[in-house]
Chains A and B, each alone.
Chain A
Amino acid sequence: MDRRTFATTVLGSAVGLAAAAKLTDASAQMMKLPPGANMAVVKENMARAKKYHLVACYGINAVGRNDCAAGAHSCAGQATIARDPKSFVLLPVGDCQKIAGGSLKPF
């Protein structure tokens, strides 16, 4: 089969599959779950992540991101002295330490 015929065949079948919403096949081919992943857990995580992200970021930053900081939180905005975060020794202290095998030393 030459390239052009192959392309025509593939597109024809793809459109057929999509139109018939034979998604199980298509999705099974496309989705590759991490080894040992439980589909229900993945779905639940996804729903939670979406909800969190939308609530924590999208909803608030939609109105707030391009605003002036002084309007949103006047104390920080009106400080006249620079905090100069460049001068202290940097050490990540967040959740990175909770990752198993998450080394804080250079790899």
Chain B
Amino acid sequence: MTSLLELQRAMRATLLSGGEKSPPELLAGIIEGAVPAAARLGVYRNNVLGNLTGALRLTFPAVERLVGPAFFAAAAAHFIAAEPPAGADLYEYGATFPSFLETFAPARALAWLPDVARLEWAVNNALHAPVAPALDAAALAVVPEARHPDLRFVAHPSLSLLHLTYPARAIWEALLTADAQARESLLAAIDPAMPGSALAILHNSEGLTLLDLSEHAFALARALLSGQILAEALVDASPETAPALLGGFLTQGFFCGYRSADHPSPIASECTQ
């Protein structure tokens, strides 16, 4: 007699193994009928694989276009066996797929593939992040000037900052072009050796937004969101560009709030979920 825990573990191992063989103790617990026990388990196994592959497909459509459906399904099967979901919500599944692709030997010829996957994950995150209003610049007026240097900005939940080696944005945009002919000519114009880019991906009042950032802007955005206070984050910033950049971040909705905790009476505008 197996315990429930043992049964669940055996079931999990069988479902994720992708193989045909099921442990006899598991098969012994399944009532045979018109469909044999092993075949019944097979239905479960294929459903799990199909479900998870489908979820990855929906999050990484450009990756699938790049490598084709068969290759994608195979890569997904390896990934699912190696890194099954940690939670029940499949919107959150696939965060580590980009780094998996980096180590996936059959994809090594496509050096830019992980960067395209990273971009797609950031887009997925922007589309499914909790809805939070952006920090309005006018709201900062309530903070006394003496406390400005101690402010820490809180990133909007939809925001990702990516520094990509390859021109993943151009590849992604070309791949998602619906018209096949336009897609081909866009793809043909891409040289993978083109410089990559620093990107901000977020969901703001304009909807899904991708911004190409200069190295300057990227460094400043990263410093501001690293948990440092404003005075520290601005150490490497230039007086000429910093005000306009920070103004731009505010208008684009990079932040959802701020904290100022280093004072006797903390000031905080927390992000609402």
Residues of A near any B CB (own CB < 8 A): 1, 3-4, 6-19, 21-23, 25-34, 45-46, 48-50, 52-54, 56-58, 60-61, 64-70, 72-73, 76-86, 88, 90-96, 98-107
Known: A3-B232, A57-B58, A86-B78. 10 other contacts (CB 8 A): A9-B243, A11-B246, A13-B243, A14-B137, A28-B244, A30-B213, A48-B177, A57-B124, A66-B55, A66-B91
A80 near B107 with CB under 8 A, answer no
Within residues 30 to 63 of chain B, which ones have a CB less than 8 A from any CB in chain A?
A: 35, 39-40, 42-43, 45-47, 49-51, 54-55, 58-59, 61
Contacting pair A100 B46 (CB below 8 A)? no
The residues of B that contact A81 with a CB separation of less than 8 Å are: 20, 42, 46
Can you report 24 A-B residue pairs in the complex whose CB atoms are below 8 A from each other? A3-B231, A7-B149, A7-B234, A9-B239, A18-B137, A25-B247, A28-B244, A29-B216, A29-B217, A29-B248, A46-B210, A57-B124, A61-B55, A69-B47, A69-B54, A73-B50, A76-B50, A81-B42, A82-B18, A83-B46, A95-B66, A99-B171, A101-B192, A103-B109
Q: Determine chain B's interface SS by DSSP, over half rule.
A: helix
CB <8 Å contact, A22 and B66: no
Taking a contact as CB atoms under 8 Å apart, the answer to whether B176 and A7 are in contact is: no
Question: Contacts of A60 on B, CB cut-off 8 Å?
Answer: 58
Evaluate whether A96 and B189 lie within 8 angstroms (CB atoms) in the complex, with A18-B247, A53-B176, A80-B35 already known: no
B binding-site residues for A, Cβ under 8 Å: 18-20, 35, 39-40, 42-43, 45-47, 49-51, 54-55, 58-59, 61, 64-75, 77-78, 88-91, 106-111, 113, 123-124, 127, 137-138, 140-141, 145, 148-149, 151, 167, 170-173, 175-178, 183-184, 186-195, 197, 207-208, 210-214, 216-217, 229-232, 234-235, 237, 239, 241-252
Are B193 and A101 touching (Cβ within 8 A)? Answer: yes
Once A82-B42, A96-B66, A102-B192 are accepted as A-B contacts, the answer to whether A32 and B251 lie under 8 Å apart by CB is no
CA gap between A50 and B92 in the complex, in Å: 20
Which residues from chain A contact B239 at a C-beta distance below 8 Å?
1, 6, 9-10
**B230 pairs with A7, CB closer than 8 A:** yes
Q: Are A66 and B90 in contact (CB under 8 A)?
A: yes
Chain B residues whose C-beta falls within 8 Å of the C-beta of A54 in the assembled complex: 127, 208
A75 to chain B, nearest CB (A): 10
Q: Which of A34, A46, A98, A105 contacts B197 (CB 8 A)?
A: A34
CB–CB B188/A98 < 8 A: yes
> How many whole Å from B222's CB to the nearest CB in chain A?
14
User: Quick one: which of B108, B149, B245 contacts A26, CB cutoff 8 A?
Assistant: B245
Docked pose: A86 CA to B76 CA in angstroms = 10
The answer to whether B214 touches A100, judged by C-beta atoms less than 8 angstroms apart, is no
Whether the Cβ atoms of B51 and A25 lie closer than 8 Å is: no
B191 touches A77 (CB 8 A): no
Q: Is the interface of A mostly helix, strand, loop or mixed?
A: helix
CB <8 Å contact, A52 and B244: no
Asked if residues B47 and A70 are in contact (CB atoms below 8 Å), the reply is yes
Measured between C-beta atoms, what is the minimum distance from A72 to chain B in Å? Answer: 8
On whether the beta carbons of B187 and A48 are closer than 8 Å, the reply is: no
Docked-complex contact A10 and B243, CB < 8 angstroms: yes
Instruction: Decide: B148 and A96 in contact? CB cutoff 8 A.
Output: no
Least Cβ–Cβ distance between A107 and chain B, in angstroms:
5
By a CB distance below 8 angstroms, the chain B residues around A80 are 35, 39-40, 42-43, 46
